[in-house]
Chain A
Amino acid sequence: MLVLSRKKGESIMIGDQIEIKVLAIDGDQVKLGIVAPKSIKVHRSEIFEAIQEQNKEALGNDNVLTILNNMK
């Protein structure tokens, strides 16, 4: 992992089109501004983790057929 220190107002570039700027620091919270082309989607990583969990939960129920039959 590349580790960089940045002060408020400073930014980093990822490639030549994505800029991430530190807008504010308040206690343990950092506010980031992200400039990226529309083709790049930006998400909080928790969203990805939650979807991964949901996919596994969707797989998890072994009684699916029984449940479906009961729903008929």
Chain B
Amino acid sequence: MDAPPTPSDASPPRESHTRDSRTGDSLSRRSLLRTGGLLAGAALTPSLLGAVAQDTVPTAAPLPDPTRTPGAPSDSLGTRSPFETPRLTPVGVTGGSSWTPHHLLHGTITPADLHFQRHHNGIPAIDPARHTVTIHGLVERPLEFTLEELKRFPSVTRTCFIECSGNGGRAWNNPKPEMSPQVVDGLTSNSEWTGVAVSTLLRAVGAKPNGTWVLAEGGDAAVMTRSVPTSKMLDDALLVYAQNGEALRPANGYPVRLLLPGWEGNMCVKWLRRLEVMDQPAMTREETSKYTDPLPGGRARQFSFVMDVKSLITSPSYPGTLPGRGWHAIRGLAWSGRGPITRVDVSTDGGRTWHAAALPNGAPPLAHTRFEYLWQWDGTPARLLSRAVDQTGAVQPTADEFRRVRGDAPGYHYTAIRAWDVAADGTVTFGGG
């Protein structure tokens, strides 16, 4: 199977709240000292900024009172606080992936630079002025569009998730207590996307009625291809050129990618160069020998496009620690490729009893949905679970149910309920599932 490369099983070691999600180090004392030195230096002698930023700065002074010291000047590009260091976990070289640190994020939008990445032969460098999208095949008028032309069509903006269909497979196949939400399910992310409806473009070229499939092809070194039913293309597919208000980033498909809301991420072909309207699927490698799902009995499910209902507790989770008994918010994300999340239940006793979580920001269709359940921890060991339900009535299965239906070694579309174990000392570990 073509499971995406996985970050080290050893997630970041447990540390204070200022841990570095990639290296596992708590925000190093040296970098804190450097920050203190930098800010102090900026206040005193801005011309020495470069010098004081060096590692050799001996200053160990604490940060000055920010109400008694002018702050740093405005800048040309925002940066995160040095106390906030979320990182993807890049794995592999040309066939790589990078995983979203869900345990360090809030709300529902994934910052574009923390959106998961998956590519099959590197991230291409593409000049937008030379990139075009050609639509041809079973059409009245084959047309080639520049990026500027695509932007002149009526635009559509919507928020939805993209999830690699291999998401969660590693935590299923090889669970370990030291797995963070990033390692368990970091191959899903949620963005606001802007682009042109594929239906608009298929009308422009005059797609013929016998054109029941559309082959999407990328302009990367994998020349990624997937066949998409025309019905999906006409329903809600977009060619997107923007993410969270700015141009796509190279790792996410710059300058233009296909977006199929609710369908497996591999089909949302990045760096799109061509759509070919066809009368049958092309049966590419990615939809035959990869991205198919072996079933018990020797069969394999093909064209399993839709991502099923799923949820994940992101806090408390490894490598976090509950600081003590009392009230804690159990928070997480739920999503489904079939429609809005209608309910998320949380259990704190391993599934014996369930409680309805709040969905404080509503549940937009085909988008990450935040859930939250306030829990009073009594200091005894607890097992935390979340179970999502979508508008079709689909319920996230237990691991046993999943195994009974899908077998022991799913490569894709893994959705079972996950557990987090809270020990009496407040440490939290991944409980599998």
**Is B one of A's binding partners?**
no
